[in-house]
Amino acid sequence: MSVARRIFWNTISQIIGKGFIAIIGVVTVKLITGYLGREGYGQYTTAFEFLAFFSIAADLGLYTVGVREMAKDETKIPMIVGNILSIRTFLCVVMVLIGSTAAFLIPQYQGTLVPLGVVIVGVAMALNILTSTVSTVLQVHLKMEYNSLASVVGKIITVSYMAFVIYIIHPGTTEEGFYQLIWAGVAGNSIMLALTWYYSSKFAKIRYRLDKEFFKDVFFKALPYGIALVLNTIYFRIGSVLLSLIEGPNEVGIYGVPMRMLEAVGIIPLYFMNAVLPVLTKSIQRKDGSHQRIIQYAFDFLVMGSLPIVAGTVVLAYPIVYLISTPEFLSNVSAGFYGSDIVLQILIFALAFSFINSLFGFILVADNRQNKILSRNAIGALLTIIINLLLIPWLGVRGAAITNVITELYVALASYFIARHYIKFSINLKGTFKMALSALVMGVTVYLLRDPTYAWIQNKNIFLLIPVGGAIYVGMLFATKTITKDMIALLKKPKAAASPLPE
């Protein structure tokens, strides 16, 4: 099987798994928002968003650095994963303790369910970080379908636990019910870790290790990238925390619904780039120019995937939010209430920029220049805090969403120029214009069909309009010859067509 084909199916298996997880996520948000309401869901979201700053410090960028190091020498995989497992476990304990203590000390959270919620979230996040550590073995071997399976099973356990809590144990909203919803995530993540460990063990012996020389080497390699990820988390998530401190849990609840959606979709470029990373790393090391074609195809894939999501979401934001939450989260502009649907229409543009940003960030990681991301993210984090403090008091939840778009645009542009400074490559935008035209045609068609179909099946028209829009977009890609024979050849076996990517 060609490398390109292995990357494609490794990514597709993850996207299919993520698709199932997204569906489960829709059910989860629907259950929680209906059970807790805007204020309760706001506190639930705050607990997760607050601890995210500490959990990403426990991550330290070791996943990406680990995959890169394993790709260089696969005989060292057991040693590398064992050491990273030790580092991350220690960091998880420290960061969860710090984050939990901080939550109890913040005055705005006193008398709410947030502090204890943060403690339980810490357990769930620690399990998730350990799962991602073990899954590096599967990523290097391009066998992430096993991790996708583990993730789906874990999420099914989580949503089943939640349904049991909501409909059987605590049918009325209670504090205990609130905490049990978070414990559901702990249960699901425990299963996910167990399954991922089992499948990864088939490819490498996994156990805790502590090799001092390697520990120091990988720690200092990962540290700049880890700090960059912390800063990245600040500019991506600080809006929720500032909303909780300035406006209160109601606004956080409104903001939380579209953010959960963006997190589910936003993982696609990371899955894809993690799959590309081993091949991209080797091609850059060879210094034969082969990285140029990999970068171009990665760029085309990411743009091709992001544009229809943007166009479709702008048109269908209202029925999407209706589907995944409750009517109290929907806008009533005549009454001056801006709900999750309008926030989603704004935030979706931030998602598009983040797709592109992931490519240029990973190019720097592949060339062992992850420390160059640090200044970019530092400026991004500072921009986010300043603009949020200016816009949230004026525009509320819309201000936080607009800030996110501005910051992601800055980060995407900065990433491109930094990557170009160190690695020679160019981006051909000819296909991008064709993709944009295809997405525009799709968006206009869906918009014209929205009202007539609403009169027939109300907001359930989304189940008709999404596949119709998808078919139109793919049809336009073929009609404009955006999808080329070379792209199709990438997915064929070497016997049928030679892969343009290095073997």
Q: Model confidence at 499, in pLDDT bands (50, 70, 90)?
A: very low
Show Cβ contacts of residue 92 under 8 Å, excluding neighbours closer than 6 positions.
55, 58, 125, 126, 129, 130
Mean pLDDT of 154-175: 90
In one letter, which amino acid is 403?
T
Instruction: Give the whole-angstrom CA distance, residue 162 versus residue 243.
Output: 26
Q: Does 105 or 377 have the greater pLDDT score?
A: 105
Share of residues in the chain with pLDDT > 70 (%): 91
- Print burial letters for 289-320: b (CB count within 10 Å at least 16), e (below 16): ebbebbbbbbbbbbbbbbbbbbbbbbbbbbbb
Task: Give the phi and the psi of residue 75 in degrees, each rounded to 5.
Answer: -70, -20
Q: 253-285 pLDDT, tens per residue?
A: 899 889 888 877 877 787 778 778 778 888 888
Q: Model confidence at 211, in pLDDT bands (50, 70, 90)?
A: confident
What pLDDT does residue 340 have? 92
Q: Model confidence at 323, in pLDDT bands (50, 70, 90)?
A: confident
**To 5 degrees, how large is the angle CA 385–CA 386–CA 387?**
95
Distances (CA, A) of 316 to 26, 320, 451: 15, 6, 11
Could you say which DSSP state residue 168 is in? I
Let me know if 493 is exposed, middle or buried by CB neighbors in 10 A (0-12, 13-18, 19+). exposed
C-alpha gyration radius of the chain: 22
Give the number of other CB atoms < 10 A from CB of residue 414: 18
Show Cβ contacts of residue 71 under 8 Å, excluding neighbours closer than 6 positions.
140, 277, 278, 281, 282
Instruction: Give the whole-angstrom CA distance, residue 219 versus residue 325.
Output: 42
In one letter, which amino acid is 482?
T
Give the number of other CB atoms < 10 A from CB of residue 180: 18
- Residue 215, both tokens: 């520990």
Q: Is the pLDDT of residue 329 over 80?
A: yes
Q: What is the mean pLDDT of the chain?
A: 84
Mean pLDDT of 407-422: 90
Give the number of other CB atoms < 10 A from CB of residue 452: 9
Instruction: Give the whole-angstrom CA distance, residue 483 versus residue 126.
Output: 41
Q: Is the pLDDT of residue 251 over 50?
A: yes
What pLDDT does residue 503 have? 34
Q: Model confidence at 108, in pLDDT bands (50, 70, 90)?
A: confident
Show Cβ contacts of residue 83 under 8 Å, excluding neighbours closer than 6 positions.
209, 210, 211, 214, 215, 218
First and final CA of the chain: distance in angstroms? 9
174: phi > 0 → left, psi -120 to 50 → alpha, else beta; which? beta
Instruction: Give the whole-angstrom CA distance, residue 378 versus residue 119.
Output: 28
Let me know if 433 is exposed, middle or buried by CB neighbors in 10 A (0-12, 13-18, 19+). exposed
Q: 422-438 pLDDT, tens per residue?
A: 888 888 888 899 999 99
The pTM for the full model equals 0.75
Show Cβ contacts of residue 334 under 8 Å, excluding neighbours closer than 6 positions.
none
Q: 1-53 pLDDT, tens per residue?
A: 445 555 555 556 666 766 777 788 788 888 999 899 888 999 998 998 888 87
Q: Where are the alpha helices (DSSP H) in 325-396?
A: 340-366, 373-395
What pLDDT does residue 185 have? 93
